[in-house]
Amino acid sequence: MTPVPVSRRPAPDVARWCDEFEATCRARGVRVTPQRLAVYRALAEDLSHPTAEAVWARLRPRMPSLSPATVYRILESLDREGLVRRVSVTDGAGRFDANRGPHQHLVCRVCGRVRDVRDPTLTRVGLGRDAVRGFTVEELDIRIVGRCGRCRK
């Protein structure tokens, strides 16, 4: 029935992540609202690294009163709190990822699809001290740009 198959994270994982998410919020004294839970769940279910607008569009049928501004605000604050990650795709709208484990992103420069990968070589990468003198490293963001199978001619 669905023309474009949505890649979904396995339901048990989603359920566990949502439980952990709610627990973390409560532990940190962050208010748990239906909107926050819904946004987090939608992102956890979706493997396509959706934009804020896409998350909103997906939730709209179920939460008609949900405001796009609220989705932007929620994703921004979750990123700041380290509960989701903003993915750098350079152009167009910002995209988000509920996967906080160590991984890299394959970005297709033709269709814009983003896929998680875990390359042990890259995951193991350390930083030489000299390269970052005077700089406090907080995050290493690795983007692998190219063409996905569908877009290779």
Partner DNA sequence: TCCTAGATGCGAGAGATTACCATCTGGAAC
Partner DNA sequence: GTTCCAGATGGTAATCTCTCGCATCTAGGA
Q: Which positions lie near a copy of itself, rule CB under 8 A? A: 86, 88-91, 94, 104, 106, 108-109, 115, 117-122, 125-128, 131-132, 134-149, 152
33 binds, among DNA, a copy of itself, none (CB under 5 to 8 A by kind): DNA
28 binds, among DNA, a copy of itself, none (CB under 5 to 8 A by kind): none
**Separation between Cα atoms, residue 153 and residue 149, nearest integer Å:** 9
- The first and second tokens of residue 50, run together, are 């959706």
Measured from the CB atom, the residue of 63 and 122 that comes closer to DNA is 63
| 3-class DSSP state of 95 | strand
Q: At a CB cut-off of 8 Å and minimum separation 6, what does 45 contact?
A: 8, 9, 14
CB of 32 to DNA, least distance (A): 4
Which residues, numbered 21-80, are part of the site for DNA (CB under 7 A)? Answer: 25-26, 29-36, 51-53, 63, 65-70, 72-74, 76-77
Q: How many residues does the chain have?
A: 153
- The first and second tokens of residue 109, run together, are 């420069």
Question: Could you count the other beta carbons within 10 Å of the beta carbon of residue 93?
Answer: 12
Measured from the CB atom, the residue of 93 and 117 that comes closer to DNA is 93
CB of 19 to a copy of itself, least distance (A): 28
23 binds, among a copy of itself, DNA, none (CB under 5 to 8 A by kind): none
Q: How far is CA 42 from the centre of its chain?
A: 10
